[in-house]
Amino acid sequence: DSGVTQTPKHLITATGQRVTLRCSPRSGDLSVYWYQQSLDQGLQFLIQYYNGEERAKGNILERFSAQQFPDLHSELNLSSLELGDSALYFCASSEGTGPQFNSPLHFGNGTRLTVT
Amino acid sequence: AQTVTQSQPEMSVQEAETVTLSCTYDTSENNYYLFWYKQPPSRQMILVIRQEAYKQQNATENRFSVNFQKAAKSFSLKISDSQLGDTAMDFCAFLNNDMRFGAGTRLTVKP
C-alpha cells in the first residue's frame, strides 16, 4: 500500500460531461502529481502541485484543471469530455519538489475513466 | 524540457536468465534523479530502483541493478535471475523539478 488514495476507482460517463477525480497524498507528502495513461501507453505528465501551489505543468488540456487544497488533497477536473479522454489517471505524491528532495513518487492505484 | 527515451518497446527473456533494458535521457541539468518503475498487469506503479545523478556508484537492489553513464545520459536496468513475476511494463523516469517517464518497455518472462 503506497498510502496514496484515489477515488473513485472507476468512472463511466458520457461525452460532453464533467468529472472530478480526487487524490489524498501519503501522510507528510506535500507534492502531488497527476498523470494520464491511455491504453498501452506511457504516463503523460499533466500537472504538479506543491503545498497548494502549481509547480509544473505538462501536457494538460485547457479542458482539464486541477487544484490542491489546504489539507493537501488534490482534485483533477475534466470537462467537455471526449472519447479520447478515456484513460487511467494516476495521482502520485512525494515529500517535496525539486532535486533537493530525492524521494521517489508514490502512486495511487489510479482512476479508470471511460467516456462513452 | 527533459525527455526520456526507451528504445525497446518489447523485450522477452527466459526465466532465470538476465535481461537489460535501455533508457536514455536528455537534460541540461546537473542535479537530478533517475528511477525505474514497473507496472504489472494490475496496473499499479511500483518503484524498482533509484539512482542519484551525483553518485558514481551504480545502484543495486537485490536482482535489479543499473548501469548509469552520466556523460552518455544513459540509465539501463539489468534484471538478473528473471522471474515470471517480473512480467510487466517497465518505465524509466527522470526527476528534477517534476518527474517525466519514458514510453515503457513491455517485458515478458517466459517459463
pLDDT tens figures, A18-34: 999 999 999 989 999 99
Asked if the model's pLDDT at residue A94 lies above 60, the reply is: yes
pLDDT for A103 equals 73
Asked if the model's pLDDT at residue B1 lies above 60, the reply is: yes
pLDDT for B2 equals 76
SS3 of residue A32 by DSSP: strand
Query: What value does the mean pLDDT take over residues A41-69?
Result: 92
Asked if the model's pLDDT at residue A39 lies above 90, the reply is: no
pLDDT for A95 equals 83
- A63-73 per-position pLDDT tens digit: 999 999 999 99
Nearest chain B residue to A57 by CA: give it: B98
Among candidates B29, B44, B99 on the partner chain, residue whose Cβ is nearest the Cβ of A105: B99
Contact A92 B99 (CB under 8 A): yes
Residue A88 CA to its chain's centroid (Å) = 10
Contact A98 B100 (CB under 8 A): no
Asked if the model's pLDDT at residue A99 lies above 60, the reply is: no
Among candidates B95, B97, B103 on the partner chain, residue whose Cβ is nearest the Cβ of A42: B103
Nearest chain A residue to B30 by CA: give it: A99
**% of chain A residues with pLDDT over 90:** 79
Confidence of residue B54 (pLDDT cuts 50, 70, 90): confident
Query: What value does the mean pLDDT take over residues A48-73?
Result: 94
Handedness of CA B70, B16, B107, B45 (dihedral sign): negative
Q: Cell 539489468, residue?
A: B78
Beta strands B105-110; B10-14: pairing state: parallel
Confidence of residue B31 (pLDDT cuts 50, 70, 90): confident
**% of chain A residues with pLDDT over 70:** 94
Query: What value does the mean pLDDT take over residues A42-70?
Result: 93
pLDDT for B56 equals 86
Q: How many CB pairs under 8 A join A and B?
A: 61
Nearest chain B residue to A109 by CA: give it: B44
A67 versus A58: which is more confidently predicted? A67
Asked if the model's pLDDT at residue A116 lies above 70, the reply is: yes
Query: What value does the mean pLDDT take over residues B15-41?
Result: 94
Distance from CA of A46 to the nearest CA of B (A): 10
What integer best gives the mean pLDDT of chain B?
94
Long-range contacts of B46-52 (CB under 8 A, 24+ apart): B47/A104, B47/A105, B47/A106, B48/B77, B48/B90, B49/B77, B50/A102, B50/A104, B51/B75, B52/A102
